[in-house]
Amino acid sequence: EVQLVESGGGLVQPGGSLRLSCTASGFSFSSYAMIWVRQAQGKGLECVSYISASSSTIDYADSVKGRFTISRDNAKNSLYLQMSNLRAEDTAMYYCAKRGPAGSMDVWGKGTTVTVSS
Amino acid sequence: EIVLTQSPGTLSFSPGERATLSCRASQSVAGDQLAWYQQKPGQAPRLVISGASSRATGIPDRFSGSGSGTDFTLTISSLEPEDFAVYHCQQYSSPFLTFGGGTKVEVK
């Protein structure tokens, strides 16, 4: 079964750090680009960060540039998002998603919740 | 950055009715690289349409996508109870992936 499972979310104080993980199974993880998408409660979807299959191309939303770092370990079938200097506006559900052959996001995890609050 | 606008934010229909959802881009989406996703409460998004008009695996044929350039449409020919959800459009051409604000399809 093709699956993505996120972990690492939680409650963190403003200015703090958190590392999210996404573990893939059921497909050749090393062959596909991956993205992190977040969704604040009651709001729309926002692409946070993108990483190509080989990690040669990485990009970030302006809202997180300089604070978040995306990475992957193809040997471990894992995707990561290191988040630092967190702000209240980073509070959201964070999803990892696989970019399919057609370019769209064809597999999504169930998400992990990040809450930034004192 | 390509900005996608979905309006209105909410549409109300009765089961069996035809629903037409709109997604407008601030600039032309190269290669019609536009997708639609369905999201139900408490669930992750699910791919419905890619390449503006290609149904994803397992998506019933009552769903269809059309459009090119800056104007795209998702049509549900006859709404089933399980189709009431939020629908998001997304462009994946360049330079960065962006989503529209979403349209909620609710029961009238």
Predicted confidence at residue B52, as pLDDT, reads 97
Rg from Cα positions in chain A: 13
Structure tokens at B27: 């600039």
Paired tokens of A8: 């690492």
For the cut 90, the answer to whether the pLDDT of residue B95 exceeds it is no
Residues A21/A34, Cβ–Cβ less than 8 Å: no
Interchain pair A102, B54: CB under 8 A: yes
Residues B51, B45 contacting (CB under 8 angstroms): no
Which chain B residue has the Cα nearest residue A101?
A: B50
Return the pLDDT at B96. 81
Biggest alpha carbon distance in chain B?
Answer: 39
SS3 A88: helix
pLDDT tens, B12-52? 999 999 999 999 999 999 999 999 999 999 999 999 999 99
Residue B96's closest CA among A89, A50, A83? A50
Paired tokens of B83: 């189709």
- Residue B8 is which amino acid? P
Cα(A82)–Cα(B60) distance, rounded to whole angstroms? Answer: 38
Q: Per residue in A61-78, pLDDT tens?
A: 999 999 999 999 999 999
Q: In chain B, what percentage of residues exceed pLDDT 90?
A: 92
CB distance B66 to B75 below 8 Å: yes
Average pLDDT over residues B93-98: 82
pLDDT at B94: 73
Among A81-90, B2-11, B59-68, B91-100, which stretch is predicted with the lowest mean pLDDT?
B91-100
Segment A75-99, tens digit of pLDDT: 999 999 999 999 999 999 999 999 9
Q: How far is A15 from chain B (nearest CA, A)?
A: 26
| Residue pLDDT, tens place only, A16-37 | 999 999 999 999 999 999 999 9
What distance, in Å, lies between the first and last C-alpha atoms of chain A?
39
Taking 90 as the threshold, does the pLDDT of residue A5 lie above it? yes
Both tokens of residue B94?
């360049």
Q: What is the pLDDT of residue B20?
A: 97
What is the per-residue pLDDT for B85? 98
Q: Over B9-44, what HEC string results?
A: CEEEECCCCCEEEEEEECCCCHHHCEEEEEECCCCC
Which residue among B51, B54, B98 places its CB closest to the CB of A47? B98
With a CB cutoff of 8 Å and minimum separation 6, the contacts of A104 are: B33, B35, B47, B50, B51, B56, B90, B92
Do the Cβ atoms of B29 and B100 come closer than 8 Å? no
- In the predicted model, is pLDDT for residue B86 greater than 80? yes
Per-residue confidence (pLDDT) for residue A15, from 0 to 100: 98
Q: Which residues lie closer than 8 Å to B67 by C-beta, 6 or more apart?
A: B23, B32, B34, B52, B53, B73
Asked if B55 reaches chain A (Cβ–Cβ under 8 Å), the answer is no
Instruction: Please check whether residue B87 is in contact with residue B37, taking contact to mean a CB–CB distance below 8 angstroms.
Output: yes
Q: What is the pLDDT of residue A86?
A: 98
Per-residue confidence (pLDDT) for residue B49, from 0 to 100: 98
Query: Chain B contacts of A46, Cβ < 8 Å?
Result: 99
What pLDDT is recorded for position B1?
Answer: 87
Report the residue of B10, B88, B92 to disrupt the A interface, i.e. the one with the largest count of A CBs within 10 Å: B92
Q: List CB contacts (< 8 A) between A103 and chain B.
A: 33, 35, 50-51, 92
